[in-house]
Every structure is written in structure tokens, then in C-alpha cells.
Structure 1
Amino acid sequence: MAPKNRLLKKGNKSAFIAAIVNTIIAIIKGIAYFFTGNVAMFAETMHSLGDAANQFFVFIGSALSKKTPTERFPNGFGRLVNLVLLGAVLIVGIMSYETIKEGYQHILHPTQSTGILMNLSVLALAVVLEAFVLYKAMKEVIHETHLDAKGLAIVPKSFTALKRAKPATKLVFMEDLVATFGGIIAIIGILLSHYADLYFAEGMASILIGLMMFYVVGRVFLDNAKGALGEADDDFEAEIAKYIYTNSEIRDIKTLYAMKEGEDYHIEMKLEIEPSLTVAQAIDIKERIEGKINEMKGVTDVIIEFEEDDGIQAWK
């Protein structure tokens, strides 16, 4: 049991916090929908249920991806988090369909819901909680990408750095961003329905929330399909190349690949060196470069090959 507990502690913290918060929110929204029958509240209940389930699977997947390589799986389990996320988006996809379908039915047959104070209070509370989780995810993005930002500066910088965040953190960020705005849309729909007698507005809000959920499904699916196949990180390759050229013995980089496997990086490179270097000197250079790259965030494996400089510049 102890090894399993240690493994779970390595799971993505943002996903764990988001799963707990969204479970609480889903229960509260579900109770409000039961008493009021509000279709916008139904959409938000489905949204929070989908997010909670999704983020729970993400937490488990991110923890399992940290398992030590075995004889059967010598390359480790880094890509497991991508596979889990590909499965998890199916849950959100089903929830999205149900949300849109319910909203469409309400537009065709609009009815007046009751309990506006309960609905608005629950949604306002949900927006605050979702915004809190979103801000935590933003801070996690800043931490994972090694940026320096505090206070409100975290918000804009987290958007620009999102591409380089871990898959699990990226999913939590996107889901809670949509959830926060979804709650605001639901509030607007309820207000229009109650005060302007536009009963179809709740159905429109439900459809908009469902479409935003589908957007998350599409983005997460594409990102993790790339991760499962093994996507090269151009920005990280450029960062490594910049360090490589600080070593005066290196004349050229013939090939350099930074393959992202889940939350980890597998680095392969072929470097050209001076022909006059001895084997012992080449080994020292190799160990120095390997040691430095292994210190970089997320790197788990480095493979370096040397060739004599051919005088033709390959790396641009």
C-alpha cells in the first residue's frame, strides 16, 4: 500500500484540487436543478460532473505515468497520461452532447423555471470556486514553465506559457476557464429568462456551454494525440541548442530531438566535434553536456552521439 500512496503523491496537484472542488460544485448544482428544473442549471451540473470525472482520471493518470520503467516497459510510462486524457475527453464529449440536446429541446419547448434566487446564488458560488481553481492552475503553469510572475501578472503570463505546461495542468486550466465563463453565461441566461421573459435564453445558454465543452474536447484530444505519438518540442530544442553552443568543442548540431512523452522529455542528439579531440576528452564533454541537460525540468533520458566535423553547417 505504501508504494501506491507514494505514487499517488506524484499526481498532478491542480487536477486533484479541481476534481474535489468540481465534485462539490456538481452536487450543489444538481440539488438546485432538482428543485428548480432550470435547464441552464442542468447544463452546469453536467459540465461540473464531466470536469470532476475528467480531472480525477487525469490525477490518476499523471501519478501512474511516474512509475519506474520495467523489463516489459523499458521506456517507462510517461505517455500513459496522454492515453488517460484521450479516454477522459470521451466523458466530456458525452456530457457536451447531452447539454446541447437539452438546450435545443428547451428552445423548441421553452418553459419558465422557478427558484431564481437559488439558481443565481449557486451559480455565483460556483463561479467563485471555479475562478479559484483556475487561478491555482494558472500558478501551476507559471511554476512548470519557470516564469517569474506574482499577483495579477500571473493571469496574462499563464496564457502565453500554457503551450509548454504539462498535459494534466493544461487540461485543468482549459476546463476551469470554460467552467468559469460557462457559469457567467448561465447566470445571464437565467436573468434574461426571468426579467425579460425570454424563456429560450436558458436553452441558448445550455447550447453555448455545451459548445465550449466540445471545444475543450477537441483541443485536449489533438494535444494528447500528439503526446501519445511522441511530439517534438521546438522551443525546448532551441533552449538545448543554445546551451550546446556554449561548449566551444562543439562545432555543429547535426540532429537534435526533444521528444515529449507525457510530462517527460526524451532527448536525442548527434553532435559534430573537432577531429583533434581524444576519446577521453570526448567522454568528458559528453558527460558534462548530459549532466547539464539532465538538470533541466522534465528530462528523463539523454542520448548523445559524436561525429567528426564535416565543415557543413547543419543546425540553423
Structure 2
Amino acid sequence: MTGFFKLLKGGNKPSFVAAVVNTFIGLLKMTAYLFTGNVAMFAEMMHSFGDAANQYFVFIGSALSKKAPTDKFPNGFGRVVNLACLGAVIIVGILSYETVKEGLHHLLHPIQSSGVLISLGVLGIGVILELYVFYKAAVEVLHESGEEAKGFSPFIKSFTHLNRAKPATKLVFMEDLVATSGGVIAIIAITITYFTGFGQAEGIASITIGLMMFYVVGRVFLENARGAIGETDEEMREHIAGIVLADPKVKDIRRLQVIKEGESLHVEIVIEVNPALTIAEADDIKDRLALLTYAQKGVAEVTIEFDEDDQILGWS
């Protein structure tokens, strides 16, 4: 049990913060919904609880993915975070369906809800808290991408660097972007209903929020399915190829693979060298390239093999 808690300390921090905040927000929205019967509030309640469950899954999965390899699992546990994300989207998918269904029901059979001030107050608090979590996730995206984060710049710069963030951070970023937007949509819908009597606005808001949740489900599923299978990091592959070819003793690259294993990268390199090299010289090359490759962000394992130079340049 002590080992498990040590692993949790290495879990993705933005996902844990987001999970705690969304649990609190979900309880606030549930209380408001019970008092008001507002369907837009119901949608937001489901959204917050869905995000919280998702983010708890991701936090635990990201922590377990850092567990050291064992004799039974020699390849390590890097892809556990992808499997956790895939499990989490099932929960969000179910809640998305319920949200859309409730919105359709309210659209066809609008019911006048009460407690508009309670609803707007709770949603306002929720938007502020979600915006805070979204900002923290945006800062983490830039940090994982090796970029600076100052002032309000993360709100804009994070979108251009999102693909370089870890799976867990990326999930929190997307969920809280949708959560913040959903809160604003719910506020607009409740305000329209209050001032115009157009009760269907809340149903439309619920359907919109549910569809936004479905978008996150689809995006997260596809991304983590690729990660669970094992996806090549093309950008890092080209970067490492440049490092390898810069070594004067390397004639060519026969094969180079950079596979994403959850939040880590596993690198396999087969290089071509002069067959007249001694074992000691080849060992020096291996040590030199391994040291440079391990220094790259996210690289957890490096395997280097040799082949004799065939005098044909194969790597482009």
C-alpha cells in the first residue's frame, strides 16, 4: 500500500486538481438542480461529475504508468495511462447520452424552472473555477512542450502546442475547455428563458453541452487507442535521427523507431558503421549516442544495435 501511495505522488497533477475541483462543482450543481429543476443545470451537473470521474481515472492511470518494469511485465506499464483514458471515456459517453436525452425531452416538453438566481450564481462560480483549472492545464501544456508561460499567454499559445503534451494533460485541457464553454452556454440559456419565457432554450443548451461532451469522448478515444496500440512520434524520430547522423562514426541509419508508451518514449536504433571498428570503438559510439538520446525529453528507454555499412545511403 505504501508503494501505491508513492506512485500516486508521481501522477499527473493537473488531472488531480481538475478532479477535485470538478467534484466540488458537481456537488454545487447537483444541489442547485434539486432546488430549481433546471435542465441546463442538470446537463452541467452531469458534465462536472463526468469530468471528475474521468480525471480521477487519468490521475491514477498516469501514476501507475510510472511503475517500474517487472519480470512478469518487462516492457513496463507506460500504456496504462492510455487504457485508463479509454476506460474513462466510457463513463463520459454514458453521461453525454443522458445529457442529450434529457435535453431532447425538455425541448419537446419544456417545464418552467425556478430559482434563476441560484442557478446563475452556481454556474458563475463553476465557470470561474473551471477557468482556473483550464488555465493550469494550459500552463502545463506549455511546460511539457518546453515553452514559456507568462500572464494570459497560455490561453492562446497552448492550442498550438497541444499535440506535444502528455495524454493526461491533453485530456484535462480539452475537458475543461468544454466545461468552461458549457457553463457559459448554460448561463446564456437560463437568462434567455428568464427574460423571454422561451423554455426550449434550456433544452437546446443541454443538447449542445452533451454533444460537446461526445466530441471529447471521440477525440480522447481515438488518441488513446493509438497510444495503447503504440504510435510513432514522428517529430522526435526526426530529431533523434539528426543527433545520430551528426556522429562522425555513424555512416547511416538502418532503422529508427520512437514509440510512445503512455507518457514515455521508447527508442530503437540500428546504425551502420565501418566494419573495421573495434568492439571498444563501437561501445564508445553506443555510450555516446545513448547519453544524447536519453537527454531528450520523455525518452525512457534506448536500444542501440550495429550493422555493417552497405555503402548505400538509406536514411532520408
Residue deviations 1:14-46 (CA, integer Å, cap 9, x gap): 010000000000000000000000000000000
1:139 and 2:139 are equivalent in the alignment? yes
**What code does the residue aligned with 1:193 have?**
T
Residue 4 of structure 1 deviates from its aligned partner by: 1.9
User: How far, CA to CA, are the matches of 2:50 and 2:281 in structure 1?
Assistant: 57
Residue deviations 1:136-167 (CA, integer Å, cap 9, x gap): 01111111121123222222221111112111
User: How far, CA to CA, are the matches of 2:209 and 2:7 in structure 1?
Assistant: 35
User: How far, CA to CA, are the matches of 2:115 and 2:310 in structure 1?
Assistant: 77
Residue 313 of structure 1 deviates from its aligned partner by: 2.1
Maintained 8 Å contact 2:143/2:149: no
Residue in 2 aligned with 1:52?
52
Residue in 1 aligned with 2:308?
308
1:241 and 2:241 are equivalent in the alignment? yes
Residue 278 of structure 1 deviates from its aligned partner by: 2.4
Equivalences for residues 244-259 of structure 1 within 5 A: 244-259=244-259
Residue 124 of structure 1 deviates from its aligned partner by: 0.9
SS of the residue corresponding to residue 303 of structure 1 reads strand
User: How far, CA to CA, are the matches of 1:68 and 1:310 in structure 2?
Assistant: 38
Residue in 2 aligned with 1:119?
119
SS of the residue corresponding to residue 260 of structure 1 reads strand
Alignment size in residue pairs: 316
**What code does the residue aligned with 2:59 have?**
F
User: How far, CA to CA, are the matches of 1:18 and 1:154 in structure 2?
Assistant: 17
Which stretch shows the higher mean deviation, 47-56 or 61-70?
61-70
**What code does the residue aligned with 2:23 have?**
T
TM-score under structure 2 length normalisation: 0.97
SS of the residue corresponding to residue 151 of structure 1 reads coil
Residue 276 of structure 1 deviates from its aligned partner by: 3.9
Residue 57 of structure 1 deviates from its aligned partner by: 0.9
Equivalences for residues 1-316 of structure 1 within 5 A: 1-316=1-316
Runs of 4+ in 1 over 3 A off after TM superposition: none
Residue deviations 1:153-210 (CA, integer Å, cap 9, x gap): 2222211111121111111011001000000111111111111221101000000000
TM-score under structure 1 length normalisation: 0.97
SS of the residue corresponding to residue 104 of structure 1 reads helix
User: How far, CA to CA, are the matches of 2:183 and 2:236 in structure 1?
Assistant: 36
Residue 212 of structure 1 deviates from its aligned partner by: 0.4
Residue deviations 1:75-110 (CA, integer Å, cap 9, x gap): 111111111111110000000000000000000001
Stretches of structure 1 lacking an aligned partner (at least 5 in a row): none
User: How far, CA to CA, are the matches of 1:254 and 1:212 in structure 2?
Assistant: 45
**What code does the residue aligned with 1:260 have?**
K
Residue deviations 1:238-291 (CA, integer Å, cap 9, x gap): 111121122122222221111001111110111122344322111101111111
Which stretch shows the higher mean deviation, 157-166 or 214-223?
157-166
Q: Are the structure 2 counterparts of residues 45 and 235 from structure 1 closer, same or farther at C-alpha, using a change threshold of 3 Å?
A: same
**What code does the residue aligned with 2:223 have?**
D
Q: Are the structure 2 counterparts of residues 137 and 198 from structure 1 closer, same or farther at C-alpha, using a change threshold of 3 Å?
A: same
